[in-house]
Amino acid sequence: MQETDVGLMLHAALLLILKLCGPPLAVGMAVGLVVSLLQAVTQIHEATVAFVPKVLAIGVALTLTGGFMMGQLTDFTHQVFDRIVAAGG
């Protein structure tokens, strides 16, 4: 395996990381923003009020995007193993 192959695999791995963690993080940030606005309006500043909706929303996001995430991870794993075999490892 040459240096360019390693660089390409590293680039692909970083893009995969962004694809996999993007949706749950975006959902968590959006729910956190809405809860923060509600807390500011109602002046209820309880930590569990912010925590529980975020956990539930991230759980729903992971449930909805889990198939996509598994497919992407499986494809990347196949690519890595194909490159290892092609390199003679």
pTM: 0.78
Of 14, 12, 3, 5, the C-alpha closest to 84 is 5
For the chain, the farthest-separated pair of C-alpha atoms sits apart, in whole angstroms, at: 64
Backbone torsions φ then ψ of 15, nearest 5 degrees? -65, -40
* Calpha distance 83→85 (Å, rounded): 5
Q: Are 61 and 32 in contact (CB under 8 A)?
A: no
Instruction: Give helix 3-42 / helix 47-87 axis angle, nearest 10°.
Output: 170
pLDDT tens track, the chain, 89 positions? 677 888 899 999 999 999 999 999 999 999 999 999 999 898 888 888 889 999 999 999 999 999 999 999 999 999 999 988 988 76
